[in-house]
């Protein structure tokens, strides 16, 4: 069943904190109530289609902080960031909703999505079906699953629930073994995270090492550590359909200008 083994890493600490928080929130807001929220949610936007448009498809990430860097952007205005990044050419947004380590909130997700027309992914540490219902009830169009944080059974269950709700998840891997596990479940959107979540080391080479193993009928997304237009073009040529970029945008004085430069739209 490939149960993840705790190793005392940052990922383990985040998951431990999230499990405690989710158990508390489930008592306050039962799944039945979330299902009413899902029924009242705004119509879904096609996340998968946004990643397969012609050209360079950037999934721009709204991230106030991270365990490796601490506070990244302050003040943090999700509406201003969302609207400017959409105008600069982002095809979708990824919004952090984990609070303790990333300073994210579901309100940031809702506010960002209301201000744009592109799809929005909930980026969090999701391991419980309750969190998937919570994502859709808060108007998310997709959600992240991290193979390293899940058993095979959890992965299969969460992918199936996402599809039941018409939300195809972005499933993140960073090793050949994790990719094999994702493919056995029939995942359609594969994200190769160039940041090892256990060591926090970033290697863009990870994407090049795994792309040949990703079937052509899957959508391939390269995540983390991408800083130049040349890198984007090289990854695109290697076979990636889309690119998740967060930290370099959030650190920039003008994230929209930085995104335009990455897309080759500015001198």
Catalytic sites, residue numbers:
61, 63, 123, 172, 193, 223-224
Angle at 252 between CA 49 and CA 190, to 5 degrees: 30
Q: CA 80, CA 229: separation in Å to the nearest integer?
A: 24
Rg (CA), the chain: 17
């Amino acid at each position: 069943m490939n149960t993840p083994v705790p190793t005392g890493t940052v990922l383990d600490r985040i998951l431990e904190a999230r499990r405690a928080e989710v158990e508390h929130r489930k008592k306050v807001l039962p799944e039945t109530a979330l299902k009413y929220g899902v029924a009242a949610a705004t119509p879904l936007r096609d996340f998968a289609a946004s990643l397969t448009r012609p050209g360079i498809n950037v999934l721009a990430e709204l991230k106030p902080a991270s365990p490796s860097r601490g506070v990244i952007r302050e003040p943090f205005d999700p509406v201003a960031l969302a609207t400017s990044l959409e105008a600069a050419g982002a095809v979708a947004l990824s919004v952090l909703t984990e609070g303790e380590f990333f300073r994210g909130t579901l309100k940031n997700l809702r506010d960002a999505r209301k201000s744009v027309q592109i799809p929005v992914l909930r980026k969090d540490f999701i391991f419980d079906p309750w969190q998937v219902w919570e994502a859709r009830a808060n108007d998310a169009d997709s959600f992240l699953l991290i193979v390293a944080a899940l058993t095979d059974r959890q992965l299969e269950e969460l992918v199936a629930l996402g599809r039941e709700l018409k939300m195809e998840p972005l499933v993140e891997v960073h090793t050949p073994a994790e990719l094999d596990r994702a493919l056995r479940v029939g995942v359609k959107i594969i994200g190769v995270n160039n940041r090892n979540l256990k060591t926090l080391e970033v290697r863009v080479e990870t994407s090049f090492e795994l792309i040949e193993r990703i079937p052509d009928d899957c959508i391939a997304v390269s995540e983390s550590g991408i800083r130049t237009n040349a890198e984007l073009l090289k990854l695109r040529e290697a076979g990636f359909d889309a690119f998740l970029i967060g930290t370099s945008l959030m650190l920039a004085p003008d994230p929209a200008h930085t995104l335009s430069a990455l897309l080759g739209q500015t001198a």
